[in-house]
Structures are given as structure tokens and as C-alpha cells.
Amino acid sequence: MSAIGVMRKDILDVRRAKIVWFVGLLFTLVTVLFFYQINEFGGIDGFADVLLGLWNLVFVGALFIPAIALVAAYLSIAGERESGSIKFLLSTPINRRDLVLGKFLSRVTVVTASLLFAFVVAAVLSLVWFSDLMIGTFVAIAALTLLYALAYVAVAIAISASTATRSRAMGGALAFYFLTNLLILFNGLSIDAALDYLLNDLLDLGIGQDPINFVTMLISPTQSYLTSTTLAFPEDFLVNQGLNPDAAAWYVQGEMGLALLLAWLVVPLLIGVVRFERANIG
């Protein structure tokens, strides 16, 4: 059995996971509410309303998409190891690498379908309410958001491939979500705020914000995603939002965010393959 064969078999099971579709629908609903608010009360003077809608979608997605991806994939391998069904699957002509890749592909398919639905709804609302889609920006945000989702699916697969029980996989997924997502999005409790306090307030090292942001990008797919989305928006809109990408160091530019986001897709998946190949299933 190949990775594609595993994907086809596994997708029949994962598509029944109601919680994945529930979180995806919740993301869609929140997106609709933001677009409705802009339609009712207006956006930013001098800019297309759809830009503000997409800007809001990015930050809503930063919160919801990791939850969708982690829920979809964190039990993909660990659940079958705990139940023992993984032994039957490995008794067929398949190697462990293809099993991990097949699980990844099946979970990616379901997560992608959930997000594409949200973006189709956003596109329809943009055309109906704003009479403008700004297709270049819209497609760029959609592509970056899907890449962001794939990165978190890869992380979830790595966690699942590295653990033997459901409880450990759940604990790993929750810890990763808390450390790399919630502690990034909420400024008062964020990792970069903690680093700034440690390095500058306590140690008085005078470290600038750019190096701190880069460290945060290294340890968080969410920060890499948020940074990469600056590539999609017009520069004058970013300045209006309080950002000035040209003034930032090269290593915290959108291109670096994109490169690190790709790394977050590839590296965890490789780790998951290696860990599972070395695991004692017996």
C-alpha cells in the first residue's frame, strides 16, 4: 500500500470527525461577522473594504486554523497505536514512511476543504457587499493561510507519530497550541513580551525589537504566518495599520516569514517520519 492508498483509506474516517467541521464552521461564521460589520459600519477611508476584511480574516485565522489542523491530525497515528489497529495496517505491504505521509495527506485534504469553504464564502461576500475582490491580495492571503494550516498539520502529525497514547498526543498538541499560538497573539502574555522583559528590563542588554521578533518567528508558525502576510497587502495599507515593513530588518521581512513557514511544514514532517520509523510498535 502506498501513501496515496493510506490517504484514501484514512480520509473516510477523518471526514467523519465532527469537531473538525465544527471548528471550521466557527471560523467561517466569525469571518462572516467581521465582513458584515465592515459592510454595515464601513472600513477605512481611502482603502477598499475588502482589504480590512482580509486583514481581519488573517487574525481570526491565526487563532482558529491551528485548532482546526491540530484537532484533525493529533490522533492520526497515536490513536491507532493505542488501539492496536496500527499493527494490522503495518502488516500490509507498506513502510512506515508512507504511512506517515498518507496520514498527512488525508488530514491536509480535510483541513484544506474546510478552509476553502471559508474562503469561498468570504469571496462571495466581498463581491456582494464590497463589489470588489482585489483578486491578487485575496489569492495571496488564501495561499498563505493554506500553507499555515499545512504547517500545523505537519506539527500535529509529528506529535502523533512521536507518541504512543491518545493522552500524550493530546497533551503535546495542547501545549504546542498554547506556547506557539495563544502566547503569540495576546500581547500582555506573549512570548516576545516575555523575551523583551527578560533581555531588556532584567538583563538590560538593549536588544531591539527585530531580533526578538525573529526569535519568535523561529519558534512559532503563527508569527511566521503573520509576518508572511505582509507580502500580500499594499504597503500604504500596512502603514495605515501601524506597520512599516521597509523599516524592519531583512530577517523579519515577509520573505523570511514565508521561508520559515515552509520550514515549519517540512521539518516537523521529517521529524515525524524519523520518530515513527524508530518507534517500537511491538
* Domain boundaries of the chain, sorted by first residue: 3-185+265-278
- Check residue 8 and give its pLDDT: 79
Taking a C-beta distance cutoff of 8 angstroms, is the pair 51, 43 a contact?
Answer: yes
Distance CA 242, CA 247 (A): 12
Banded model confidence at residue 282, pLDDT cuts 50, 70, 90: low
- Check residue 188 and give its pLDDT: 59
- Check residue 1 and give its pLDDT: 61
Taking a C-beta distance cutoff of 8 angstroms, is the pair 151, 221 a contact?
Answer: yes
Task: Provide the CA 126 distance to its chain's centre, in angstroms.
Answer: 23
**Average pLDDT of span 115-120:** 93
Judged against a pLDDT cut of 90, whether residue 142 lies above it is answered with yes
What number of helices (H) and strands (E) belong to the chain? 14, 0
Question: Which residues, 6 or more positions from 255, have their beta carbon under 8 angstroms from its beta carbon?
Answer: 231
Distance CA 75, CA 168 (A): 10
Judged against a pLDDT cut of 70, whether residue 55 lies above it is answered with yes
- Check residue 197 and give its pLDDT: 78
**Average pLDDT of span 234-240:** 90
Question: Which residues, 6 or more positions from 201, have their beta carbon under 8 angstroms from its beta carbon?
Answer: none
**Average pLDDT of span 243-264:** 91
Least confident of 90-104, 106-120, 247-261: 90-104
Judged against a pLDDT cut of 70, whether residue 179 lies above it is answered with yes
Banded model confidence at residue 174, pLDDT cuts 50, 70, 90: very high
**Percent above pLDDT 70 for the chain:** 96
- For residue 53, give the nearest of 40, 64, 69, 63 by alpha carbon: 40
Banded model confidence at residue 132, pLDDT cuts 50, 70, 90: confident
Taking a C-beta distance cutoff of 8 angstroms, is the pair 99, 279 a contact?
Answer: no
Q: Count Cα neighbours of 183 within 13 Å in the Cβ-side half-sphere.
A: 16
Per-residue pLDDT tens for 246-256?
788 889 999 99
